[in-house]
Every structure is written in structure tokens, then in C-alpha cells.
């Protein structure tokens, strides 16, 4: 299995070796699009996708994602980054330049519920999630056999509020050792400390039910059933030190009715959770998200 996945990734890297992406945030003013387009033209690059958004054409914030093909990009990376700094300085941009063939490395954290983990690994196996997944970390051993069937190392680190600092020290050491770019919390039922969050700022993606704040805490589906809810939802967001209040990436819902029992609500919740999380992870992996304050712009 792992050999087939590696072959798909190698083919993808070969096909995208000349492809780059730029994400831009700055104050809106005339000439931004023209300057970026002229820059790419001067460097023999062809724009293949461009999206932009302004909060207010008269003095608002401007956001842009542009994808391009540039012949010989592998040998011109440093030059492109160096030359673009002049434009970025002129427009006072916050910007990031990505090279598509350099696959991001994601670590998945999971506890006992495996539906989101399964969805992520199946998308990864079939080539729809083009990233490297060097390891899965869990505070339980339930996922070990499933994860290792994909040829991915599984690391069991027991974690609780009593040993949280020690567990996170082990986790961060592993993430550094494996050169991890971002972390996916696939129903990882532990609260992360500010130290951990700051180590991967805007690079930790979480999933939870969308009852918050109405049914925060334990047994949300039981209390939702008692209230007779008509919608089951899920939210994926970036993790911040404010619990479950980070910038929202994606949300979705599924309708339920009076015939559905608690287990039906949970089943529907799992269906929505796994699809929402996969979309959020793919968008992050494809450099489609710009965080602005506690909101996101998703191109």
C-alpha cells in the first residue's frame, strides 16, 4: 500500500515541480493586482488561478491567492523570493510563497473515536489528500492496528491533565524530529497548552460538533436530544488558547427529526464531522486559507 502512495506522490511532485502559490494580505489600494501580475510576467510565469477579496474597496483589507507555473522554478526559488520582497515592501504586504511540489507534512492526533482518522487516511491513500503523514499520535492504543496497516508509525503517549506537560514535551519532540508542518486533531480529546499551541500557531486544525455554545461540555448529543434539535452540525477551526473559539475554516449541517434517537444523532454527527474536517485539511494543505483576526478567508 505504502509503495503505491509514494508513487502517486512522486508523480504529483513531478507534475507540479514548476508550480507556485502566493498568499497576500495588505491594505487595499490601486495597483496591487497589476504589480503582482507584472512581477510574474517578468519572471516568465503563467498565472493559472487567481482569487482576490477586499473587505472594503475604499480603504479595506485586501486578500489574494495566486497560483502560477514558472519554467525552471526549482532553480529560481531563491530569486523569486528575493525579488518579490520589493513589491511586498512597497504595498506593506504580509505574504507567503509556497512551492507546490514541496509536500506538507501532517501529524494526526486521535483518541478513541476513529471516524475522522479513517476518512483522512482513506483520502490520503486514494491520492485526494496530497500530503505526507509521517506519524499518528494518540493518548489511547485503539487506532494502532488501523494506522500501521497504512505503513504509518503509530505512537501511543498516554495524556491527561495530570501529565499534560510531560506528554506534550514528548509530542513536540516527535513533531520536531519528523519535521511536521501542521497538526490535525481528528477527535483528539485533550486540551492543548498555550506552549503547544504557540509552537504551531495557525497550524493546528480541530473538529467538533456545532452545538457550541448551546451544549458545551459532556454528553452534548444527549442534551441535544432532550431539546429536540432539528440540525446536527460540525465545525473545523484553527486552535487558539481560547478553547473552541479559533478562526473557523469550515462548517456543515445535517437535518434530523423527532424519530432520531441519541445514537442516530451521534451517527449523523460523525458523518458531518469527517467530511468537514477533510475539507478543512485539504484547504489548508492547498494554501487556500488566510487568517485575518479571528476569521478566515478561504479561496
Please identify every residue annotated as catalytic: 244
Rg (CA), the chain: 21
Kindly state the cell numbers that stand for 26: 495588505
Task: Assess whether the previous peptide bond of 289 is cis (omega < 30° from 0).
Answer: no
Query: Treating both helix axes as pointing N-terminal to C-terminal, what angle do 262-285 and 115-125 enclose, rounded to 10 degrees?
Result: 40
Which residues are CB-neighbours of 11 under 8 A, at least 6 positions away? Answer: none
**Distance between CA atoms of residues 212 and 218, nearest Å:** 12
Bridge-based pairing state of the strands 295-298 and 289-292: antiparallel
**How distant, in Å, are the alpha carbons of 121, 124, 143, 178 from that of 150?**
8, 10, 11, 17
C-alpha cell at 85: 520582497
Produce one character per residue of 248-264: b if its CB has 16 or more CB atoms within 10 Å, e if not: bbbebeeebeeebeeee
Q: At what angle do helices 220-227 and 262-285 cross, to 10 degrees?
A: 120
Q: CA-CA distance, 70 to 5, in Å (whole number)?
A: 27
Amino acid at each position: 500500500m505504502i509503495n503505491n502512495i509514494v508513487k502517486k506522490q512522486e508523480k504529483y511532485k513531478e507534475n507540479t515541480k514548476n508550480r507556485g502559490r502566493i498568499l497576500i494580505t495588505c491594505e487595499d489600494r490601486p495597483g496591487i493586482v497589476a504589480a503582482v501580475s507584472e512581477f510574474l510576467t517578468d519572471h516568465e510565469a503563467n498565472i493559472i488561478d487567481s482569487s482576490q477579496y477586499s473587505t472594503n474597496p475604499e480603504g479595506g483589507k485586501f486578500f489574494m491567492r495566486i497560483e502560477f507555473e514558472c519554467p525552471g522554478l526549482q532553480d529560481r526559488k531563491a530569486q523569486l523570493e528575493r525579488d518579490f520582497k520589493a513589491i511586498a515592501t512597497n504595498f506593506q504586504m504580509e505574504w507567503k510563497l509556497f512551492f507546490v511540489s514541496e509536500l506538507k507534512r501532517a501529524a494526526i492526533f486521535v483518541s478513541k473515536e476513529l471516524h475522522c482518522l479513517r476518512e483522512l487516511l482513506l483520502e490520503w491513500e486514494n491520492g485526494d489528500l496530497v500530503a505526507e503523514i509521517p506519524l499518528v499520535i494518540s493518548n489511547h492504543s485503539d487506532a494502532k492496528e488501523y494506522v500501521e496497516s497504512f505503513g504509518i508509525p503509530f505512537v501511543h503517549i498516554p495524556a491527561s491533565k495530570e501529565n499534560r506537560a510531560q506528554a506534550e514535551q514528548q509530542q513536540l519532540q516527535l513533531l520536531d524530529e519528523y519535521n511536521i508542518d501542521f497538526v490535525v486533531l481528528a477527535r483528539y480529546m485533550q486540551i492543548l497548552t498555550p506552549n503547544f499551541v504557540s509552537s504551531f500557531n495557525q497550524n493546528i486544525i480541530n473538529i467538533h460538533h456545532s452545538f457550541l455554545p448551546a451544549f458545551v461540555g459532556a454528553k452534548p448529543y444527549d442534551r441535544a436530544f432532550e431539546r429536540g434539535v432539528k440540525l446536527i452540525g460540525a465545525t473545523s477551526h484553527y486552535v487558539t488558547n481560547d478553547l473552541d473559539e479559533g478562526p473557523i475554516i469550515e462548517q456543515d449541517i445535517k437535518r434530523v427529526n423527532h424519530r432520531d434517537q441519541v445514537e442516530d444523532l451521534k451517527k449523523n454527527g460523525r458523518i458531518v464531522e469527517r467530511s468537514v474536517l477533510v475539507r478543512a485539511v485539504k484547504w489548508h494543505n492547498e494554501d487556500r486559507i488566510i487568517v485575518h483576526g479571528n476569521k478566515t478567508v478561504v479561496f
